[in-house]
Chains A and B, each alone.
Chain A
Amino acid sequence: MISQPLRNNAGQLKVSVWRGDESGGRHVDYDVPGLESQTVLDVVTWIQRHSDPSLSYRFACRVGMCGSCAMTVNGVPRWTCRSHVRDVARSNLLTIEPLRNLPVIKDLACDMSAFFEKWDDAMGRFHPTATRGDDVEPIRPGSIGRREADAGIECINCAVCYSACDVVAYKQDYLGPAALNRAWTLVNDVRDAARGARLRAVASDAGCHSCHSHQSCTTWCPIELNPTASIAGLKRQSALAILTGKISLDDE
């Protein structure tokens, strides 16, 4: 922490924080000193240190790498450690709530289980073809498949896209933009052995064909990934695989 507080020239912030648990909750107002340079996570931390130590929230890296600090800020899902108050506050007002589309554990901390289970459902795990006895496979960085995979590979699992997606909101089992984006990176990985099974998994009713290309995921992804483009790729590849008989959606 900075020992000398920055000059307080931003006035008082009026911060409305959602407090509660799975049984319900309400907004509680806090006055927080505004600073010259201040993130939303700084504001939440200030409240916990100075107003109410029982406030629950999650963070780890504070530099936009771990994906644990996402919350709903003035109605929009954001990574709070890299969202500056001056960019997201409306005339010194901030409303901070847990992410949408995930069950609340307490206050600003959500239960992320469903989000990660869907990564498994979309076959987000790598299925190797080689063993440790084999040579490392040379992958050309400029190859089409590698470029497609690289475009989506940096996902930090923050669930901002999942929280912004309206299809997730009304279709409980929809795999969601992050899991499908992950599946697309693996579909393009030549070292992976499970391409057919993965295309079948993402072509299910809960999969890529339920996406309506609203692009809310792409609009709000903090690191500017493009899940909509990844999902469009899955739509094409899975449709092609079905049409050419490579995969079948019939129950085995």
Chain B
Amino acid sequence: MIKPHQKHSLWLAALVHRVSGIGLALFLPFHFYVLGLALNDTATLDTFLRWTEHPMLKVAEFGLVLFLALHLFGGLRLLALEFLPWNPAQKTFAALAAALSVFIALLFLLKAI
């Protein structure tokens, strides 16, 4: 449960960063496995790619792109916070990172369907 002292937007940004980071870490081995199929087993790859045409998988892919974008832009915000002179607009940056991520993921979804 989120505790009262954690109820502020930048703590939420940290939570999103962790959840998306773990999500990506879980997904990547599978991703590399499927990429590997292109070299070793094109028949299985083709079956798999036909399977990815399913609408539910498009939604899952949307989630994945969203995670990647959230982690990427959120991570860039953190790196800027830590390596550049202090900027007090951290909440604005976090909101921008989230908005940009949703925008990119939606764009991806619209192109996919």
Q: Which residues of A contact B (CB under 8 A)?
A: 74-77, 100, 163-164, 166, 212-216, 219-220, 226, 228-229, 232-233, 235-236
Contact = CB atoms under 8 A, between A and B. Distances in A.
State the majority secondary structure of interface residues on B.
helix
The 5 closest A-B pairs by CB, nearest first: A75-B4, A229-B86, A215-B10, A219-B8, A214-B14
A162 to B, nearest CB: 12
A96 to B, nearest CB: 13
Contacts of A75: 3-5
B82 A216 contact: no
B8 A216 contact: yes
10 contacts: A76-B4, A163-B5, A164-B5, A166-B6, A212-B14, A213-B78, A219-B10, A219-B11, A226-B86, A228-B81
Nearest to B82: A232
B81 A216 contact: no
A213 B5 contact: no
Interface in B79-95: 81-83, 86, 90
State the majority secondary structure of interface residues on A.
helix
Interface string B62-90: 00000000000000001001110010001
Nearest to B11: A214
Contact of B86 (A214, A220, A232): A232
A213 B82 contact: yes
A75 B7 CA distance: 10
Contact of B10 (A100, A163, A214, A229): A214
A229 to B, nearest CB: 4
Nearest to B80: A232
